[in-house]
Structure 1
Amino acid sequence: MNKLFAVLAPLFVASTVMAAPEAEAAAEAAVAAGPMVPGLAAGLAVLGAGLGIGRIGGTACEATARQPEVKGQIFTNMLLTAALIEGVAFAAVILVG
């Protein structure tokens, strides 16, 4: 194990030294994009929730078409699942914002 470390340590040090200017440029870009990041994160959270709830609704419609006698149970499960997804989306927007 020590031999492996002795071989890999110089490679790691050399790669970090060579990447220093790129890391500095990336840090400056992250600071410049700082105000946009929370908005993008909130948008992605809402987008994911919307897609998930849409899929739940579509699947519930298909299930009701196949078995109309259990439409009450399907609707209840759909509503509960959609509410849980919406709760996670609200939490993400509140935590990000």
Structure 2
Amino acid sequence: MAKFVCAFLFMLVTTCVIQNVYAGGEGSLRPEQCAGACDVRCSATQYHKACETYCNYCCAKCLCVPSGTYGHKEECPCYANMKTKRGGPKCP
């Protein structure tokens, strides 16, 4: 009986860990989807290359990019809460 309980708990924990890894933590994006989401996010700025660099960095960490080209950061708290050394927003 103890072996059955241990095996069941092991399977339960393993399933939870796998779901958390594939769910992407906070966001629902997979890492390979970040480039496309950041293209949309940075499409309206004149600083396209810098915007994409920081957006891709933030997306890799949070697996989430807010919708639209500006604002809507409440959709991705991790993305919104990342700060520079000076305390300003890191993610566009």
Classify the TM-score, shorter chain.
0.3 to 0.5
Which one has the largest radius of gyration?
1
* TM-score (ref. length: structure 1): 0.39
Select the structure that is richer in helix: 1
